[in-house]
Amino acid sequence: MAKVGLKDIAAQTGYSIATVSHALRNPDRVADATRKKVIAAAEAVGYTPNNLAVSLRTARSGNIVVIIPDIADSHNSNIIKAIEKVARARGYSVLLGDTQGSEAREREFARMTQTRQADGVILMSHRLPFDRKPGLPIDKLPPIVNGCEYAGHDDLPRVYIDDYQAAIDATNHLLDYGHRRIALISGDVETHSTRERLRGFDDAMAAAGVEVDRSLQVRAGYTLEEGIAGATRLMRHREPPTAIFCFSDEIAFGAMYALRDMGHSVPDDVSVMGFDNIPFARYITPPLTTIAQPTAEIGATCAEILLDIIDGKRPETPLRILPHELKVRESTRRISG
């Protein structure tokens, strides 16, 4: 179990280190008998290559790092799972970078690509984790793909849903159900996704000829706690909303909790709409109406693209839009008013 190296098995078989290496990696370039002997010896002594040395030599670490704000968020962890799966299938490991939204941490993790500990990064953030000199071509950057967000670089490969259209779909659903006073608990307005959703909401409302009441909008983070705070504030409005569109299911959970706490019923008094469709969404009480994001597909696609880039294959088109889906469940209700 100690450190056995090529050297040891070379000594044992009488071949040179080079031959042993070949026997193990390029079976064809070596005599049949040799290969067999070497492999047998390797197994006998329990040889495991020192991947550090391999990486140093081949300049490939076999790791990718995924930079993500919060791995405890269901939506994120399911994406990670998908990434992990395809990475593994293609011989890579994933290094986890939970940043808690800190830009410094994002940059720290991205540096692993320069320190050769990682071959590429999947970035679930809206900003590039390193400085890019204006005009520097994309292929001079470390292999990177942007997931769920848009970091402001058009040539950066990225995969996400059509947040604009998704927000329209969500808003239309509420509108269809007769809601007019629709409140919003949004995410970080620094992010492209949030801005797109905001835009979608506005456009849908405008298209329906309903005026948007800005005092019915609260900006938050994607957490449950912020959903509680947001809904609490909203319901204290002198003319409270009949529906709340939350930009994440976690926010929606928090909102539903707060609503119930204040004695309002969902969906009888107020309808709640989520976003993401995390696994719990359909199992809570009442089951949450929401926009489903294809998490598994997002993760898998990000990983495939990144690994392709690492292998030298750039995607033809940087942008990959994946389909979302409106899931109507019981947290929204048709009203007469």
The residues of the shown chain that bind DNA, judged by CB under 7 A, are: 3, 5-7, 14-19, 21-22, 24-25, 29-31, 33-34, 49-50, 53-54, 56-59
Pick 170 or 259: Cβ nearer a second copy: 259
Pick 6 or 67: Cβ nearer DNA: 6
Which helix (H) or strand (E) segment holds residue 253: the answer is helix 249-261
Q: Is 123 helix (H, G, I), strand (E, B) or coil?
A: strand
Pick 26 or 114: Cβ nearer a second copy: 114
Pick 176 or 261: Cβ nearer a second copy: 261
- Whole-angstrom Cα distance, residue 175 to residue 153? 34
Name the minimum Å distance from CB 50 to a second copy: 5
Name the minimum Å distance from CB 3 to DNA: 5
Pick 3 or 133: Cβ nearer DNA: 3
- Whole-angstrom Cα distance, residue 126 to residue 149? 5
Name the minimum Å distance from CB 253 to a second copy: 6
Return residues touching a second copy (CB under 8 A): 1, 48-53, 55-56, 61-63, 70-72, 74, 77-78, 80-81, 84, 93-96, 98, 111-112, 114-117, 136, 140-141, 224, 228, 253-254, 256-257, 260, 279-280, 283-285
Partner whose binding site includes residue 207, from a second copy, DNA, none (CB under 5 to 8 Å by kind): none
**Residue 290: strand pairing partners:** 327
Give the DSSP letter of residue 177: T
Sign for the CA dihedral angle at 293, 295, 298, 301 comes to: negative
Name the minimum Å distance from CB 40 to DNA: 14
**Cα angle for residues 226, 71, 129 (degrees, 5° grid):** 95
Pick 82 or 305: Cβ nearer a second copy: 82
Partner whose binding site includes residue 7, from a second copy, DNA, none (CB under 5 to 8 Å by kind): DNA
- Whole-angstrom Cα distance, residue 30 to residue 28? 5
Where do the DSSP E strands lie in the chain? Answer: 63-68, 93-98, 120-123, 144-147, 158-161, 182-186, 217-219, 243-246, 271-273, 290-292, 319-322, 325-327
Partner whose binding site includes residue 313, from a second copy, DNA, none (CB under 5 to 8 Å by kind): none
Partner whose binding site includes residue 25, from DNA, a second copy, none (CB under 5 to 8 Å by kind): DNA
Name the minimum Å distance from CB 265 to a second copy: 11
Name the minimum Å distance from CB 108 to DNA: 18
- Whole-angstrom Cα distance, residue 198 to residue 152? 17
- Whole-angstrom Cα distance, residue 226 to residue 187? 10
Partner whose binding site includes residue 260, from DNA, a second copy, none (CB under 5 to 8 Å by kind): a second copy
Pick 114 or 285: Cβ nearer DNA: 114
Name the minimum Å distance from CB 196 to a second copy: 26
For the chain, the farthest-separated pair of C-alpha atoms sits apart, in whole angstroms, at 89
Closest among 172, 196, 194 to 185, alpha carbons compared: 194
